Chains A and B, each alone.
Chain A
């Protein structure tokens, strides 16, 4: 049997593909963080909790109302976005005049509350969410068995990431947004409602997290802890990518997913820390991150 570096190609390609699937979640989540950070200069610590909330909304829609996956894919992110708008309006907006660290601390507290509440209500062993009927089964790719649903996750996340990038970098609305990031006072003077734009941006960013949550529900259990396990890795992804750039967040997300997959082939024990090691190396060479600008 032919091998690559002593590894059968089946295992190698299989793990790379799995890495790409993980990368899809990293990309969606770090994209949301990057969008929020770009506009609000706040690191949204509650991102993981809101991702969890998305999955739980989907699960509640199914078990309480009888609404299936495809509608949940639309409704749950909207609901999470609405929660985000509410949080921004009622709490976060009070802190803009202060150090941005207070935003980090506030969202940390919010994350504790949301996760604690769901732990209290639903325990932690996780609730099952079935794969939608249209996407059960899988494809035998020769080197591995790819469940259809995972293929769908990769495709969906790619489309969403590209669409977001396009909307921000190539449309009129995106131009306002970028301008407001650079100089909010000036943009306000042009008659654009900057506070509302900030609110909607936060809503959109967390809606992305909610969407990732719905996508994740059928793969992982719907569990109150699903976000807190993931969010620190995503933070590291954002640091590596550099916080200025949308494209950077997306590319780093996918790239690190692949790299993690590769580590699982060669040295599985290190798969948890590889992202952090990369982060340390990147920081030594480029303190602002791979795609970031020094501010």
Chain B
């Protein structure tokens, strides 16, 4: 502990030194924030324009300026295509002097952008993507994974469901890397907690009809059906599970491993009720979150998802770090960000690990029944808080090579 403090103090002193040396060094005399996300597709509702609004709220809070220089926010649609995403990121950095790239849902696109930002030493703040390899095998010194990851989802929902009595599991898994990883992570957690895996079925992406997979899940007799998928696939599978009376019988429970507030909103409480899920943010938890979310709601007409709230938090932290470092130089700011605790309406005493993982509390939530909901957007009941250290992997566990050197 003492040693840690000393190191911290030394780093702080060092950065104060560099800060003074580089006072006012802002490339292009403007700090440019590029929000790169899905604005028309599968993940437009969970991030999209809402993330841009959230980022702008963080900028407004800073008075629109940092180090006396104006802050500019631009946005583009990566259409869920890794090639478009990496091309846009390259152009933004090379031609438009973008200093930081934000959001980037879709693990595939995020991995591609991470390659670019690592090469160009540009800060990359990830709220949308899920895969924990972004701070593991694919980690980058300037990459930050903010809101959640597959590891936290597995720990949260997997372990909690077993503790609630759901000992035997069957997975319906999206048949691609993200789904496989989520299934593997969750299986490990379930087994660690003393549960068993009855089987798994791989459903192709964008499956229109899950009924046959649900039929398999039903005949497996497992107590919990884990949905290792995302976005539209999750919505469809939950809806059809309700149609086939899977959960109403009370013998089987659905566990959505990656569900956003926007998904629940799309499903409606009648269908989504009693789902158990893990989230990094819920608007109705304390006064600070409620106040911020209300402001967000006034601008967008929707309550924020954890991705949107996370975008606010990450950009706010980034701007504070730029101010503290006295420059917008990528590696310098990245080092600074890792020394500062994250304290805002999104996270209390959040800390950033050497691999770029922002560690904060996660929450296990249950979707309310229609009769319990008191008004619009009153969707979750928070069952339990999962401490950040429990939810996220340590640097050693993550397998990030840069950080362990």
- A and B from one assembly? yes
Minimum CB–CB distance for A141 against chain B, Å:
12
From the candidates A21, A125, A147, name the one contacting B231 in the complex (CB within 8 A): A125
Interface string of A192-224 (1 = CB under 8 A from B): 000000000000000000000000000111010
In the complex, whether B290 has a CB less than 8 A from a CB of chain A is no
Interface pair B266/A221, CB less than 8 Å apart: yes
Query: Once the chains are docked, how many angstroms separate the CA of A66 from the CA of B48?
Result: 30
Q: From A14, A15, A125, A261, give the contact of B232 (CB < 8 A).
A: A125
Is B331 positioned at the interface, with any CB of A under 8 Å from its CB?
no
Q: Out of A127, A145, A229, A269, which one reaches B206, CB within 8 Å? A: A229
- Smallest beta-carbon distance B208→chain A, Å: 5
Those of A17-46 within 8 Å (CB) of chain B: 18, 21-22
Interface size on A, residues (CB 8 A): 39
Asked whether B201 lies within 8 Å of A10 as measured between CB atoms, the reply is no
* Residue on B nearest A146 in the bound complex, by CB: B244
The A-contacting residues of B in range 295-335, CB under 8 angstroms, are none
- Majority DSSP secondary structure for residues of B touching A: helix
Encode contact with A along B233-245: 1 for CB under 8 Å, 0 otherwise.
Answer: 0011001100111
CB-defined interface of B200-220 with A at 8 Å, one 1/0 digit per residue?
A: 011010101101110110010
Interface size bracket, B side: 35 or more
Question: Which of A78-86, A87-95, A116-124 is found at the contact surface with chain B?
Answer: A116-124
B271 adjacent to chain A (CB < 8 Å): yes
Cβ contacts under 8 Å, A127 to chain B = 266
Whether A15 contacts B215 in the complex (CB less than 8 A), given A128-B271, A145-B244, A147-B244, comes out as yes
A47 in contact (CB, < 8 A): no
Pick from B204, B213, B271: contact of A272, CB below 8 A: B204
Kindly identify which residue among B206, B266, B270, B271 contacts A125, using a CB–CB cutoff of 8 Å. B266
Residue A109 CB within 8 A of the other chain: no
Q: Please name the 5 residue pairs, one residue from A and one from B, whose CB atoms are nearest each other, closest first.
A: A264-B212, A125-B45, A125-B266, A123-B44, A14-B215
Q: List 26 A-B contacts (CB under 8 A).
A: A10-B219, A14-B212, A14-B219, A15-B212, A15-B215, A18-B211, A120-B40, A123-B44, A124-B40, A124-B42, A124-B44, A125-B42, A128-B267, A138-B245, A147-B244, A150-B211, A219-B209, A221-B239, A223-B232, A226-B208, A229-B208, A261-B212, A264-B212, A268-B201, A268-B202, A271-B204
